[in-house]
Amino acid sequence: MSQTVTPELRRWIIEQASAGFSPESVLKAMLDAGWQQPVAEQALERTLLEHLGSVTPQQLAQAAPEVREAVNAALGVSAQMPHIDLSGSPRRIDAGDRWVDVITHLNHPRVVVLGNLLSPEECDAIIESAKPRMARSLTVQTTTGGEEMNPDRTSNGMFFARGQTPEVSAVEARIARLVGWPVENGEGVQVLHYRPGAEYKPHYDYFDPAEPGTPTILKRGGQRVATLVMYLNEPTRGGGTTFPDVGLEVAPVRGHAVFFSYDRPHPSTRTLHGGAPVLEGEKWVATKWLREREFA
Ligand SMILES: O=C(O)CCC(=O)C(=O)O
Ligand SMILES: [Fe+2]
């Protein structure tokens, strides 16, 4: 007699895994219920893998450790993440050489808006040292692994090497302390300049695993797992950082920053975001991307 896997069975498997039962105990229950071992094993594996895309980080956090491990391994997901400790709901956080204000935070997507991350002097110094090296922004092209001009990004930009100027170096150390992530895992700071009308259409910062160029990119430091966009000045109107999945817009205020993290390269992180068009004035930001491992 051949057995077929019904939608009810798949739902039941997901419920069991989400409730914290280990795959072994789910499998045993299926065998006890009369399922043939190969069918049961395949149904279990397929169902859990296919379900991954719709699992929220909160659900996964509640799953049995074996499920979490299997899921993480299957997706190349990072167990450890850059993270801002907001336990005890602090108003301000000690970032080593500076107290940083906590303005707003959201759990899914994981977003933290910070105030006073940079002093006005640091903002100006970073803009001034970036200016001579600005060119039309390139984005890493996952189709090829190279860098290309992207029509969705109408800003101008440049990259600093890590530690290239004293201000960049101080800010990098501050960020590392703030999010508990090594300086070595960070890409160099990128500076972007938007004139009126310029924008950065909604996108994900992680590298799309489905694109052929991604494996090459990942050889250097693995996936991006978090982004910090730092506002170096204030456009008069427009230029906020938007998160369309949740209708959030972060105001570009000088010295403020928006931190967001994504523990898997997947839209379920809800980290789709963009730079809204600048309507009046101009906008300068510095972006710090954090990788899983050392970015050498
Ligand atoms: O300019 C912004 O607000 C967003 C910048 C951004 O998304 C990026 O640099 O990846
Ligand atoms: Fe981005």
Domain boundaries, given as residue ranges, for the chain = 7-75, 92-291
**pLDDT value of residue 140:** 67
CB 262 within 8 Å of CB 269: yes
C-beta 206 within 6 A of ligand 1: no
Query: Which of 241, 248, 260, 288 should be mutated for ligand 1, with most atoms under 8 A from CB?
Result: 241
C-beta 285 within 6 A of ligand 1: yes
CB 292 within 8 Å of CB 78: yes
CA of 18 to the centre of ligand 2 (A): 31
Instruction: Give this prediction's pTM.
Output: 0.76
In the CATH scheme, what is the homologous superfamily, with its name and number, of domain 92-291? q2cbj1_9rhob like domain (2.60.120.620)
**pLDDT value of residue 105:** 97
Q: Which helix (H) or strand (E) element contains residue 172?
A: helix 166-179
Question: Rounded to an integer, what distance in angstroms lies between the CA atom of residue 232 and that of residue 114?
Answer: 13
| Closest CA to ligand 1's atom 9 | 287
Residues 6 or more apart whose Cβ sits within 8 Å of residue 173: 96, 97, 183
CA of 32 to the centre of ligand 1 (A): 53
3-state secondary structure of 81: coil
Q: Which of 292, 77, 99 is nearest to 182 (CA)?
A: 292
CA of 96 to the centre of ligand 2 (A): 26
C-beta 117 within 6 A of ligand 1: no
CA of 124 to the centre of ligand 1 (A): 19
> Tens place of pLDDT for every residue, the chain, 296 residues?
568 888 888 888 888 877 778 778 888 998 998 888 888 888 888 887 777 666 655 566 556 666 666 666 665 566 689 999 999 999 999 999 999 999 999 999 999 999 999 999 999 999 999 999 887 666 666 766 666 666 677 788 999 999 999 999 999 999 999 999 999 999 999 999 999 999 999 999 999 999 999 999 999 999 999 999 999 999 999 999 999 999 999 999 999 999 999 999 999 999 999 999 999 999 999 999 999 999 99
**pLDDT value of residue 25:** 85
**pLDDT value of residue 276:** 98
Atom of ligand 1 at shortest distance to CA of 203? Answer: 7
C-beta 200 within 6 A of ligand 1: yes
What ipTM is given for this predicted complex? 0.99
